[in-house]
Amino acid sequence: MANVIRRQTLAARVSRLAVYSVLILAALFYLLPLAVMLMTSVKPLSEISAGTLLTLPQNPTLAPWTKAWGEACTGMRCDGVGGYFWNSFAIVIPAVLISTTIGALNGYALTKWRFKGSELVFALMLFGCFIPFQVVLLPMAQTLGWLGISSSRAGLVLVHVVFGIAFTTLFFRNFYVGIPNELVSAAKLDGAGFFRIFWRILLPVSTPIIVVSVIWQFTQIWNDFLFGVAFSAHNTQPVTVALNNLVNTSTGVREYNVDMAAAMIAALPTLVVYVLAGKYFVRGLTAGSVKG
Amino acid sequence: MKNTSTARAGHPAPRASTLSGWQAWLPRLVLAPSVAISLFFVYGFMLWTFILSLTSSRMLPSYDFVGFGQYARLMQNERWWVASTNLMIFGSLFVVICLVIGVLLAMLLDQKIRQEGALRTIYLYPMALSFIVTGVVWKWLLNPSLGIQAMVRSWGFESFRFDWLVDSDMVIYTLVIAAVWQASGFVMALFLAGLRGIDDSIIKAAQLDGASLPRVYWRVVMPCLRPVVFSAVMILAHIAIKSFDLVVALTGGGPGYASDLPATFMYAHAFNRAQIGLGSASAMLMLGGVLAILIPYLYSELRSRRHG
């Protein structure tokens, strides 16, 4: 009897060990590229050619980082990715704020002020989440030209707002649908108006969905490359475009450490957001895809 | 879409009839700009691209109609076939491998694991990165002269070969590796959320009946996860069709055009090769591909909602 129990616990232990091994191996698979990127970015070039990917840096240096930030060549110019890093912020911040505000008002109007056809309006807008953006690139280029904002940061803000409101509206609509209507009805009977009800009743409970929407839009727009490469000029490029140019500029010796430092710089803002607010990030990713 | 059904079943939103006319129109007024934007920038632009695809436009849009000539040219274009075939290979491997890894990791993580939160964070962080960053990193790892190949050789396996990045027959699989690295953790998160939503008592009952754990998962849990599989396939397929950045950063479409995908084909023709008509036709076919996935999805979604 005791023997049987011991055998069972042994089997249980072995399977437990197997489970943990697989999980840890998987963690290594996901972490290694980041570790290699970080290590490479602080190695001098001589160490890179002498060692391998996993050789620890012997004389860590921040020189590749300063070069990537301020001196490395991205295409024709050699002023690093620093300026483009701020470009990205200059595009992302207004685009996130505007698209989130519009999304919140849309979601509110669609759920608390339903009218004949409001479901149709929602379905109509939702489709914008799914189109491949290749199908809007050429008309967009021409429209931006007509508006006089082609190759400008304002143009990129417009593009990101236009194609972001489908997502933000979806987030807020699905969130506000779950907020009871009783309070809103009572306020309406008291004669409170559209904006007053939004400001006093809906907005105070909206913090979680605002965080989800801001994080989602921030990562989407920060990580965008297609619109950035299609609708920007030398001085208005976002950092993803500058990074790609830096890596593909083929003059002189390939400086892999500078490439990796630039990649880290481009990745840091979204990584920081993910580490600080991972829960909301996941919620944004899974919004509308998991039915409760 | 979590709460739609409860709202339907609950109280309908109050009608605005008690309010003055102006207040009743305000919600519509607030929605109007977004509807206008959507009609113009989404539907209008789709139509516009379709019209361009019927013209002989090259460097600049012209409206000299040639019927479906551009589509016929596309069908005879070898590079387009390479791109489409690549998408089939890349898309199916990407979706299947992500699903397998995602389900496996989610089920293992569901075994009351210590440090589950930390592991989940590690699995999911690549999804926060830009595909450009992912491409740059994997280009470095897969670089034959200094990357993984060189490392394994330095361990004494002199004949080890892993030069897919410069091999036109294998380069498409490097895209699969990098994309799986980026997105599989996300699929894990989807499945984990699905698993946590399943009632524990069903699993306990099956275990009391003497079913082994793998059997419980296969027979009891997996069927409950069917909607998650469906959503995951749909999202992953969508990512695959839109894949552009990853190709640009990792392979540049090369060697030659061996790793082209429709998205890079479209961009190259519309913006670099002065073939606006042909590029528009390829964009329309991409849209067709997305609709082919989307319409069955929406159909089943609406149907299940009506019945459930």
- Total residues belonging to chain A: 292
Both tokens of B267, joined, read 């961009």
Q: What pLDDT, on the 0 to 100 scale, is given for residue A288?
A: 47
Residues 158 through 217 of chain B touching chain A, CB cutoff 8 Å: 181, 185-186, 189-190, 193-194, 197
- C-alpha A75, offset from chain centre: 25
Contact B170, B90 (CB under 8 A): no
Q: How far, in Å, CA of B7 to CA of A179, rounded?
A: 9
CB A116 within 8 A of CB B31: no
Point out the residue among A23, A111, A288 whose CB comes nearest to the CB of B119. A23
Task: Copy the structure tokens of residue B129.
Answer: 């990165």
Q: Give dist(CA A242, CA A236) in Å, integer.
A: 10
Task: Out of A136, A184, A271, name the one closest to residue B41 (CB).
Answer: A136
Q: How far apart are CA A130 and CA A133, in angstroms?
A: 9
Q: Residue A74's beta-bridge partner residues? A: A77
pLDDT at B298: 77
Joined tokens for residue A146: 């007509």
Instruction: Give me the phi and psi of A51, to 5 degrees please.
Output: -100, -160
Min distance A131 CA to chain B CA atoms (Å): 7
Provide the residue type at A145 as one letter: G
Q: Does residue B126 have a cis peptide bond before it, meaning omega lies within 30 degrees of 0?
A: no
Query: Is pLDDT at B92 greater than 90 in this prediction?
Result: yes
- The mean pLDDT value for B50-70 works out to 88
Q: In this complex, which of B23, B241, B284 lies closest to A194 when CB atoms are compared?
A: B23
Q: By the 8 A CB rule, do A112 and A181 touch?
A: yes
On the question of pLDDT at B2 being above 50, the answer is no
A291 with B2: Cβ contact below 8 A? yes
CA distances from A30 to A26, A206, A259, B115, B170 (A): 6, 34, 20, 16, 22
Tokens of B205: 């009952």
**What pLDDT sits at residue B206?**
81
Say how far apart CA A263 and CA B141 lie, in whole Å.
13
Amino acid making up residue A258: V
pLDDT digits (tens, 9 = 90+) for B109-168: 988 888 888 999 999 899 999 999 999 999 999 988 888 988 888 888 888 888 898 888
Pick among B6, B22, B45 to test the A interface (most A CBs inside 10 A):
B45
Q: Mean pLDDT of all residues in chain B?
A: 86
Put simply, the answer to whether A30 touches B122 (Cβ < 8 Å) is: yes
User: In sequence order, which residues have a C-beta less than 8 Å from that of residue B246 and are 6 or more positions away?
Assistant: B131, B132, B134, B135, B175, B178, B179, B182
Residue A287: its pLDDT value, please? 61
CB contact under 8 A, A132 and B231: no
Question: Residue B210's pLDDT is what?
Answer: 79
Nearest to B269 by CA among A232, A79, A172, A134: A134
* Residue B230 CB-density burial (10 A; 0-12 exposed, 13-18 middle, 19+ buried): middle
Tokens of B44: 């209008």
Give dist(CA B107, CA B20) in Å, integer. 56
Give the minimum alpha-carbon distance from B3 to chain A in angstroms, rounded to a whole number. 6
Q: How many CB atoms lie within 10 A of CB A227?
A: 21
Whether the per-residue pLDDT at A289 is higher than 60: the answer is no
Give residue B307's pLDDT band: very low, low, confident or very high (50, 70, 90): low
Identify from A134, A184, A189, A220 which residue to disrupt to test chain B contact, counting B C-beta atoms within 10 A and taking the largest count. Answer: A134
Residue B23: per-residue pLDDT = 75
pTM for the structure as a whole: 0.88
CATH 3.30.930.10 is the classification of domain A82-286: no
DSSP B212-261: -HHHHIIIIIHHHTHHHHHHHHHHHHHHHHH--HHHHHHTTT-STTTT--
More reliable by pLDDT, A130 or A92: A92
**pLDDT band, residue A8 (cuts 50/70/90):** low
Q: What is the pLDDT of residue B231?
A: 82
Split at pLDDT 50, 70, 90, the class of B279 is very high
Residue A241: partners with Cβ closer than 8 Å, 6 or more residues away? A84, A225, A228, A229, A232
Separation between Cα atoms, residue B24 and residue B274, nearest integer Å: 50
Question: Any residues with CB less than 8 A from the CB of A59 and at least 6 apart, and which?
Answer: A44, A47
Please report residues of A whose CB lies closer than 8 A to that of B125.
Answer: 30, 34, 271, 274-275
User: Across A178-182, B180-184, B239-243, which has the greatest mean pLDDT?
Assistant: B180-184
Question: What's chain A's average pLDDT?
Answer: 88
Largest CA distance in chain A: 85
pLDDT at B9 exceeding the cut of 70 = no
Extents of the domains making up chain B: 53-307
The string of pLDDT tens digits covering residues A173-199 is 988 988 888 888 898 888 888 899 999
Looking at residues A106-124, what average pLDDT do you find?
A: 90
Residue A101: the pLDDT is 96
State the pLDDT confidence band at B1, using cuts at 50, 70 and 90: very low
- pLDDT of A28-75, one tens digit each? 999 999 999 999 999 998 888 888 888 888 888 998 999 999 888 887
Residue A77, strand partner residues? A74
Instruction: Give the pLDDT score at A141.
Output: 93
Cβ contacts below 8 Å, chain A against chain B, sum to: 288
At CA A19, angle to CA A3 and CA A56, rounded to 5?
Answer: 130
Rounded to the nearest 10°, the torsion over CA B13, B18, B24, B26 is -90
CATH homologous superfamily of B53-307 equals MetI-like (1.10.3720.10)
pLDDT band at A145 (very low <50, low <70, confident <90, very high): very high
Is pLDDT above 60 for B15? no
Residue A225 scores a pLDDT above 50: yes
Give pLDDT, residue A4.
53
Residue of B nearest to A242 (CA): B132
Contact A171, B80 (CB under 8 A): no
Task: Return the residue of A nearest to B58 by Cα.
Answer: A138
Ranking A8-22, A167-181, B2-16, B139-153 by mean pLDDT, the lowest is: B2-16
What percentage of chain B reaches a pLDDT higher than 90?
44
